[in-house]
Chains A and B, each alone.
Chain A
Amino acid sequence: MKAIFKREARSFFTGMVGYVAVALLLGFIGLWFTANCLIYGTPDFSIVLYSSTLIMLFVLPALSMRSFADERRNKTDQLLLTSPVTIPQIVLGKFFAQLAVFAVPVLAACVMPLVLTAFGSVLLPGAYATLLAYFLLGAACIAVGTFLSALTENQIIAYLAAFGLLLTAYLMEDIQSLFTTGSTLALIVFGAALAVAAALTGLGCRSLGAGCAVLGVGAAALFLLFRLRPAWLLAALNSALDALALFAPFRSFVGGMFSVSAIVYYLSVTALFLFLTGQALERRRWN
């Protein structure tokens, strides 16, 4: 894992990607820091980080897009997968290398709240807690991008897919507010999800019966739920959509609160997508 981490981290800085990513993140954090804190005089550093989550959407997929897509295209994954290292070691080595690049602007931003103390009283624990959440949010974004990179051998597709997915997560609350969610909409959404799940099951097991069985049982359960407890269906849809709003929990830190649930959420998302990345690599060996 150490070997992969070192090679990966070095490759970000032998090319331009690492420098550009660090420069962009640091540049925009600095811009908002100057505008909000230094000129306008806000002592709240979390506002700066909140604004700059937008930049993550553009920059972090650029870090993760190459990770597995490029290995596969250049067939260098043959070296990794035929060496005595495990797939989790490969995935973690690559993930931590990207995290190390992302850590550079975050560490540099650690100085900024200290600068503010020269002008007045600043709530330092709050500022550093927000930085921690910001770092974990970035880690989750990187894990999502790494997973998508493991699904394709084209890094442009990996970038666009990661950007699209993160943008959807970023805008999830707006998207939710576009629709007046009623239980009928919930039924339609869950019905569509069920149809996709049934089709995947059918294709995965290569049997029409299995797919139809999943569809039949699922449809019956959904319909019963819709007739008897429509409120449950609506609540389920809302919480499912809330769970997809990756950037929303970060907001609680901006209010000055330390949210343990947000930390757990980001760590879980990271772990889930790294696990899926490993599964995607393993699956490719079986195709």
Chain B
Amino acid sequence: MIEVSHLTKRYGAHTAVDDISFTVEDGCICGLLGPNGAGKTTTMNVITGYLSPTAGTVRIGGHDIQQEPQAAKACLGYLPEQPPLYADMTVAEYLDFAAELKGLRKKADRAAAAARAAARAGLDGMARRLIRNLSKGYRQRVGLAAALLGDPRVIILDEPTVGLDPAQMIEIRALIRDLGRQHTVILSSHLLSEVQAVCDRVLIIAGGKLVAQGAPGELAARLTARGVLSATAQGPKQAVLAAAAAVPGLRDVRLTAENGEEISFTAASADGGDHRAALSAALAAAGCPVLSLASEQMSLEDVFLQLTEPDPAAAAETPDKEEKAHESDL
């Protein structure tokens, strides 16, 4: 079990992770999802004790990573974004070294653990190869095997399928699902399909903040229930968007396409009600004929984009003001 509470990490003035709290139960595969630079890797580095948090606590299996680092790290297997491999060692030497670091004292224990982990990560027949000479996919597997050594209760994988070919990706995903039966797994990814396929729970991180969490299906359903309208109307861009934004109960009006006078946009219903009629009437009243209007289903991808993109209202405001200033000049 992993308990993260009010985790904050600052690098100087930059806040990489901002007050994140979550709990991952035993035997759960949890996906950290977010765009690049959202704070996924920093979060994982703090959970594993590689970095110290600026504020907040992390408890792994009941052990605080700052107060009892040895005990907490003993139940942890970590595969960083770039597998921490020594190029001058063979696969067998490396796994033996990693096993000894994990505290396996006896040589026979280490050999058995290394053989088991190597077989699970699909490294059969690679034991004598120099890590220097391995392909990216195999290096990833060696890192994964090292993370599995000693059967840690918690396994943390930072973008485990990056750089793998599609067949290897499927293989690794199957392995992760298999691991989820006995271990607690946290994996990060920016691939939605991967998270949807593998994880029991999703945490969406954007700009260092936790913006949503839940089961993948549940998250998508929750946001679909809000009802999203997509519409195309004819008229000046500002007039169309202003008319849509003025409809009570509609929010998040965002431009999706602009083709001459044909303006396509989406809008979310704030209260979950159906505002198609009101929107149509408002556009007609503004002198912008409606060309199409439909209520949309949201996939996890839409949820993700909606949650992680910077606020469109704030972005749309600036050009608006400029234009007004320009008008007053005339």
- Report which A residues bind B (CB closer than 8 A): 2-4, 6-7, 10-11, 14-15, 74-86, 285-287
Contacts and interface: CB of A to CB of B under 8 A. Distances in A.
Interface string B59-76: 000000000011101101
Most buried by B among A3, A82, A85, A286: A82
Contacts of B101: 3-4, 79-80, 83-85
A7 B74 CA distance: 20
Contacts of A78: 45, 48, 50, 78, 80, 84
Contacts of A286: 51-52
A81 B86 contact: no
Interface of B: 11-12, 45, 48-52, 69-71, 73-74, 76, 78, 80, 82, 84-89, 93, 97-98, 100-103, 146
B84 A14 contact: no
A81 B49 contact: yes
A75 B73 contact: no
A79 B98 contact: yes
A-B pairs, 8 with minimum CB distance:
A3-B100, A79-B84, A83-B101, A76-B84, A84-B74, A84-B73, A82-B48, A285-B52
Given A2-B100, A14-B89, A78-B50, 13 more contacts: A6-B97, A6-B100, A11-B86, A11-B89, A14-B88, A74-B85, A75-B82, A75-B84, A78-B45, A82-B78, A84-B70, A84-B71, A84-B74
A10 to B, nearest CB: 8
Nearest to A85: B101
Most buried by B among A2, A7, A78: A78
Contact of A82 (B73, B86, B88, B97): B73
Contact of A77 (B76, B78, B84, B87): B84
A15 B146 contact: no
Contacts of B86: 7, 11, 74, 76
7 contacts: A6-B97, A14-B89, A75-B84, A78-B80, A81-B50, A286-B52, A287-B11
B64 to A, nearest CB: 14
A11 B146 CA distance: 19
A15 B70 contact: no
Contacts of B78: 78, 82
B51 A285 contact: yes
A74 B81 CA distance: 12
Contacts of A3: 97, 100-101
Q: Is the interface of A mostly helix, strand, loop or mixed?
A: helix
B273 to A, nearest CB: 49
A80 B73 CA distance: 11
Contacts of B88: 11, 14-15
Contacts of B80: 75, 78
Contacts of B74: 84
A2 B97 CA distance: 10
Given A3-B97, A75-B80, A78-B50, A84 B85 contact: no
Contacts of A15: 88
A82 B146 contact: no
A84 B149 CA distance: 13
Contacts of B52: 285-286
A285 B73 contact: no
A145 to B, nearest CB: 20
A2 B100 CA distance: 8
A207 to B, nearest CB: 16
Contact of A7 (B50, B69, B70, B97): B97
A139 B128 CA distance: 35
A77 B84 CA distance: 7
Contacts of B98: 79, 83
Contacts of B76: 82
Most buried by A among B12, B74, B97: B97
Contacts of A79: 84, 98, 101, 146
Contacts of B70: 84-86
B50 A82 contact: yes
Nearest to A282: B52
